[in-house]
Amino acid sequence: GAVVSQHPSWVICKSGTSVKIECRSLDFQATTMFWYRQFPKQSLMLMATSNEGSKATYEQGVEKDKFLINHASLTLSTLTVTSAHPEDSSFYICSAILAGAGDTQYFGPGTRLTVL
């Protein structure tokens, strides 16, 4: 089956620093990738849709200048949390759609971000 990886799996950073999270589709080309955020005991919240070669589309209430998304190739999307603060601590999960077969989203294992 299609595999999506994320790196790092967890990260701890100081308040005010920026953190980059990578999402890769390992064995398929993904024209579209999604970024989600999940707080403890809550469900996933879609943050943005990322299409290769174009600007990401952010969901209402998500600050695009704070959460920078780059989808430079068909196998890689990155999420950069800029000037992170403790309230940004969360579980960040990406997913990818197989080009030409959009019925299924393949999810990465998630990245646990803790901002001190």
- Positions touching other proteins (CB under 8 A) are 4, 6, 32, 34, 36, 43-46, 49, 91, 93-95, 97, 102-110
Token pair 């994320």 is found at 6
Report whether 107 contacts 77 (CB < 8 A).
no
- Least distance from C-beta 3 to other proteins, angstroms? 11
Closer of 36 and 67 to other proteins (Cβ): 36
- Least distance from C-beta 18 to other proteins, angstroms? 23
Closer of 14 and 43 to other proteins (Cβ): 43
CA 61 to chain centre: 16
- Least distance from C-beta 16 to other proteins, angstroms? 27
Closer of 42 and 83 to other proteins (Cβ): 42
CA distance 24 to 2: 11
Question: In sequence order, what DSSP letters do the residues of 30-76 get, joined into one string?
Answer: EEEEEEEEE-TTS--EEEEEEETTS--EEPTT--TTTEEEEEEETTE
- Least distance from C-beta 43 to other proteins, angstroms? 5
